[in-house]
Amino acid sequence: MKRIRNFVTLYLTAALLSVSAAAATTVPSIENKNVPTVTANDAAGNALDDGSLLVVSLNDTSESTVQIREALNVALTELRGNELTNLVPGFADSWAAATSGAPLENAVISHVFDVSVVGNADTVFANGAIDVTLKASDITADDSVVLIHKTSDGWKVEPSRRGADGEIIVTVSSLSPFAIVVDNGAAPAVDGDTKSPQTGVSTAAIVLASVSFAGAGAAFVVKSRRDD
């Protein structure tokens, strides 16, 4: 009888710990769509020559981009394993400003990509920071976005402005992995029933299932007692 009680106790504890972890996690889902097109102007307003910048996604299979894809994989691992509010300083404030206060659970990472210089970076940045314009066919001017950038000092929000057709325009002094975070437009949760953006599973449903599991365990113990 004691073994049965210990067995049920261990399983109930594991279930409750799993529910706590699921409810506390707000790691965004990652869609990793095709890379946006990229154009750039130098600090003097002169357009950079075509071919000055290389844009790479994880879907790229070129041998020449192996090292870039390795850096992208590191960036992707960080994005998948952390809440954006912990990974990116100031993300919550930037998200609230960009989305007019949409819940953080609405954050979806739509694009992860790397931008790098082809040739001599000193030439590209000779006049200082450059203006980079990102154009994704699936992002319109009506979409709320936050652009984040993995620099040598870690992830940061890049202040950006929008073009008439939804372009994202950002001034940067370095190039490396970027990610576009969009608002999926979901309505706020009702009565505390939130969904994990990673799984789409209702945390209320998880809790209910765990309570049911606990009830079943208790019933099992009672029945065992009677059988004894």
**Tokens for 126?**
């000779």
130-185 pLDDT, tens digit per residue, is 999 999 999 999 999 999 999 999 999 999 999 999 999 999 999 999 999 999 98
CA distances in angstroms from 139 to 32, 35, 142, 179, 180, listed in the order given: 13, 12, 8, 13, 10
| Separation CA 114–CA 35 (nearest Å) | 9
pLDDT tens digit string along 31-43?
A: 878 889 999 999 8
- Asked if residues 125 and 155 have their Cβ atoms less than 8 Å apart, the reply is no
Q: Which pLDDT does position 87 carry in this prediction?
A: 98
Q: What are phi and psi of 73, to 5 degrees?
A: -65, -40
Cα–Cα distance measured from residue 149 to residue 140, given in angstroms and rounded to the nearest whole number: 21
pLDDT in tens, 61-118: 888 899 999 999 999 999 999 999 999 999 999 999 999 999 999 999 999 999 999 9
The reply to whether the predicted model has a pTM over 0.95 is no
Q: Give mean pLDDT, residues 213-224.
A: 48
How far CA 216 is from CA of 8, 44, 181, in Å, comes to 10, 71, 42
- Residue 202 in contact with residue 194, Cβ under 8 Å? yes
Say how far apart CA 31 and CA 11 lie, in whole Å: 34
* Signed CA dihedral, 166, 130, 78, 62: sign only: positive
Chain position carrying tokens 């990116």: 88
Half-sphere exposure of 90 toward its Cβ, with a 13 Å CA cutoff? 13
Q: Who contacts 132 (Cβ-Cβ below 8 Å, separation ≥6)?
A: 38, 39, 40, 53, 115, 169, 170, 171, 172, 175
